[in-house]
Amino acid sequence: MPRLMFVLSNLGGGGAERMALVLVGELARRGHDVTLFAFRREGVLWSEVPALVRVHAVGEASEPTWRNAAAIWRALAAEAREQDVVIGALEGWPTLLAYAAARRAGKPCIGWVHADYRDDRAFQLRYLWVTRLLDRVVCVSAAVAAGVTGGRCDVIHNAVSVAPVHAAPEAAVPLVLAIGRLTRVKRFDLLLAAHARLEARGVAHTLAIIGDGPERAALEQWGGGVEMPGYVADLEPWYRRAAIVVSCSRSEGFSLVVAEALAHGVPVVATRYPAARELLVDGRYGQLVDANADALAAGIGQLLADRARRDELHALGPVRAAEFSVERFTARWEQVIAELA
């Protein structure tokens, strides 16, 4: 089995880091020799690193990366010499340094791109130029692949585990749920504006936004009795309670939240960013709306009022989610790795 090294900055609670842990764990269980290299031991996911995976973290959480830049490079270059394939598991500095270390060691390098950067010219110029030099690029959706130029690009959708599908909740006041890092790109301000419109119209519902991030203080100023519990490791109870899951991001590479909602049979309302259209197959598996507060409020209100449509989506969601199985995801990655190792 080839020796593999995945390179990350840290193990923050984002979807890219969560998916990297799924992949390294599955590859290790299948007999691969897997190393997880991190610039620093920072983030909420360190307790979730699979036991079979070797870890090399250079700095501690309190140490800025720039202060350890020389030590990070020396450690990464030394590790690369011991590997058969090096994987930049997150676009940006992890992939740039993974590529440099792999080339110096004469080893192939794969880049893993998780976000749709077509509208972010600055990021493209600073970081994505390296995709032209990589041996392979793995993109988490066709939407992401459309923004990557040069090199051989493979679309491997992220994985979702088989989830228990419970009966649709019968709560008198239905829960509308959103999950994600509290950042501007997630557009939770749009959801809060839609929530205010629904409340003004007397539409019975509660709203919970799960996650943490730099926009927390600004979002909390909206008030309105919104539950904001911060980062939650076990989302199962929340999916079980939810009548609807909302994804209103400006853009997403894949949206694990949408895929997980499908797996749990929770109906989804999403704005029409490309990855949502891809996952929901242009509205077959969920409700797509325009990216403004009025349209989002209307979409949520319509679905809350239409029990037959919610029941239909409750049945269809797990069917769609089965296409994103962990087994299929891991097998596709093994195929790409085998072609290079």
- Mean pLDDT for 206-226 is 92
**pLDDT tens figures, 138-196:** 999 999 999 887 767 899 999 998 767 777 787 889 999 999 999 999 999 999 999 99
> What is the reported pLDDT for 145?
94
> What is the reported pLDDT for 151?
65
Please check whether the two domains, 3-159+325-338 and 175-323, share a CATH topology: yes
Q: What is this structure's pTM?
A: 0.88
Determine whether 20 is exposed, middle or buried from the number of CB atoms within 10 Å of its CB (0-12, 13-18, 19+): buried
Does residue 56 carry a pLDDT above 90? yes
* pLDDT tier for residue 60 given thresholds of 50, 70 and 90: confident
- Mean pLDDT for 253-269 is 95
Domain residue ranges of the chain, discontinuous segments joined by +: 3-159+325-338, 175-323
Fold of 3-159+325-338: Rossmann fold (3.40.50)
- The proportion of the chain whose per-residue pLDDT surpasses 70, expressed as a percent, equals 99
Instruction: Report phi then psi at 154, rounded to 5.
Output: -115, 130
pLDDT, mean over the chain = 93
Q: What 3-state class would DSSP assign to 86?
A: strand
Does residue 15 carry a pLDDT above 90? no
- Helix intervals (H) in 91-187: 93-105, 121-126, 142-145
**pLDDT tens figures, 299-340:** 999 999 999 999 999 999 999 999 999 999 999 999 999 999
Give CATH superfamily name and number for 175-323.
Answer: Glycogen Phosphorylase B; (3.40.50.2000)
- Mean pLDDT for 37-65 is 90
> What is the reported pLDDT for 120?
87
> What is the reported pLDDT for 46?
94
